[in-house]
Structure 1
Amino acid sequence: MDPDLALLLNGIVSGLLLGGLYAAAAAGLSISFGMLDVVNIAHPAFMVLGAMLVALFWGATGIDPLVLSILLTPAFWALGAAIYVAYHHFFERRGDEAIQGLAFFFGVMFIIEIGLVLAIGPEQHFADASYANTTWRLGEIDLPLRMLVPALVAFLAIGGLALFLRHSFTGRAIAAVAQDREALRLLAIDPVRIKRLAFGISIAMAALAGGALVVVQPVDAGSGHIFIGRVFAIVIMGGLSSLWGCVLAALAFGVVENVTASFYGPSWSPAVAFGALLLVLAVRPQGFFGRVA
């Protein structure tokens, strides 16, 4: 096979696997930002918090990092629900969620980062899963399990979340809460309770993404900064409240970044990827699966 073609195919496959990590990171934000209209700028910091806890528990127990991240999701759901209660009490119910609410989540982000540095230190942490050093080879294409397994777990989690949102009464209420609160009240549904539940799910998804992240790469307290622009870009490109649009955008983002890095160097990949975002928004401002207002 031509070396350039082999490099291109491997870049596409690795980009799709990287897109799985991006999808896991962006799925929770799609709920809070796209469905609840809560601009949680601290979402990647929760992902890093989950990654660091997974790395610590993995070092103490040896349990698979992805299993640990699943076990941590109830605690992160409770954390997310508590944070939403504070956000609603101090900002949302008074109509101050625009600027003051954004500042609140900036504060949460820095508290998480500083707390991690004080509690754990500034060093990088990594969870070396049993399959992390195994690579499957299909002809000229490499499939590293340290990226394949987290991507599969991420897609299964997103699929389960999509089924919950589409086919359960509570899931449909979550999808409707940002569109028409008063209609929910007429159905005797408390919008605040629904948003609290949904925001908890959003943060639980961040914990799952953290387990995937710490298998793929080392993580330190400031690693969330790398993902802030990416996850918001993916959610916007996918169409805000569309989980499948989020997945498609994440895969496209991962492929564009990885192929660009393979041929032109990693310094070019963010510029090209965000350029693709601007091109998509110029042609289709509502994103891949967004609806025209």
Structure 2
Amino acid sequence: MSMELFGNALLSGLLLGGFYAAVAVGITIAFGMLDIVNIAHPAFIMLGAFVAYWLNVEYGLDPLLAALVAAPFAYIAGRGLYRYYHGVFERRSEDSLQGLAFFFGLLFVVEVSLLLVFGVDYRFVSAPYIGPSLTFGDYSVPYRMLVPFLAGLGVVALIALYLGRTFTGRAILAVSQDPGALRLVGGNPVKIKEAAFGLSIATAMLAGALLVIIQPIEPSMGREFIGRAFAICVLGGMTSLLGTVVAGAILGVAEAMTTTYVGAAWGPAVSFGLLLITLAVRPSGIFGR
């Protein structure tokens, strides 16, 4: 029985880790590559979750399809948000605390807006894969966890291909290392960062759709992901997408084991604990340079 319990907890943690990678990849882009502390990122995850919920309830769209419909609009909104952030904060002041305060306020604006529109009740979606499980022997894998796991890894893989195979993607990597050198080859760092931030917000919307597949949602639960997302980003090495996947798996397994053997109340503390340990032992993260 103990091995069965351990095996199911391990499977659950690994599946959760794929979803966490999708949650944190936007932070890896914004915070790790652009040096923008977007603490409002979890609010956009919740916005994506409620958009997927609304499209599912009103039009019967599958949550994954709803995410694909919403992602281009999120990308455009993210680009506009960066333009405002750059014009008001980044260009005029070197004080990063002002930008942090802006995103902190934005976090509550989005959350309160969702509360006013959808209320405090938990909302859930319907899809054929929510409910059934894949069973082999003593182990069970719920499709509601397997689908977000595969979709989350797919999102990270597509972003890795985009960053590595396209001019804009390589420019995003370049602007995180040497904006001056990017200018020498004809790139505009502001435009590149604008595109990268739009991509970050689009991934948040996709992660929100995965969240509503996993569990019912309510507006204020986005704050639970602040520590997780930044912990994964730092643990993975700030700019490494492979590190994001590995760190997501580590955090997912750690939370699942803690929840199984200690208690669910201790689960959220794991992310902050890992963050503190990483900062103390290896500040550059697993794949950091």
RMSD after superposition: 1.2
Superposed, 1:88-99 pairs within 5 Å as 88-99=86-97
Distance 2:272 2:81 in 1: 31
1:153 pairs with 143, 151, 154, which one? 151
- Kept in 2, the 8 Å contact 1:66–1:150? The answer is no
**TM-score w.r.t. length of structure 1:** 0.95
Mapping 1:33-182, distance limit 5 Å: 33-182=31-180
CA contact (8 A) 2:46 2:208 kept: yes
Distance 1:265 1:143 in 2: 21
Judging changes above 3 Å, is the alpha-carbon distance between structure 1 residues 155 and 131 closer, same or farther for their aligned structure 2 residues?
A: same
Query: Which ranges of structure 2 fall in alignment gaps of 5 or more residues?
Result: none
1:230 is aligned with what amino acid? R
- Identify unmatched segments of 5+ residues in structure 1: none
Q: Number of paired residues?
A: 289
Paired residues of 1:239 and 1:290 also in contact (CA < 8 A)? yes
Give the alignment's TM-score, normalised by structure 2. 0.97
C-alpha separation in 1, matches of 2:132 and 2:59:
22
Residue 143 of structure 1 aligns to a residue whose secondary structure is strand
Counterparts of residues 253-292 of structure 1 (less than 5 Å): 253-291=251-289
Amino acid at match of 1:122: V
Cα deviation, 1:125-167, whole Å, max 9, x if unaligned, reads: 1112211011011111111000100110110111010011112
> CA–CA distance in 2 between the matches of 1:237 and 1:262?
23
Give the counterpart letter for 1:167 in structure 2.
R
Structure 1 residue 273: Cα displacement: 4.5
Q: CA deviation at 1:269?
A: 2.5
1:225 aligns with 2:223: yes
Deviation of the 1:95 alpha carbon: 2.9
Name the SS of the counterpart of 1:137 in structure 2: strand
> Residue deviations 1:18-75, cap 9 Å, x none?
1111111100110000000010000000000010011011001112101111111000
Per-residue CA shift, 1:73-118, capped at 9, x if unaligned? 0000011001000000000012345010001111111110111112
Deviation of residue 276 (structure 1)? Answer: 3.6
Q: Distance in 2 between matches of 1:207 and 1:150?
A: 13
Q: Equivalents in 2 of 1:97, 1:203: separation in Å?
A: 23
1:270 Cα shift?
A: 3.0
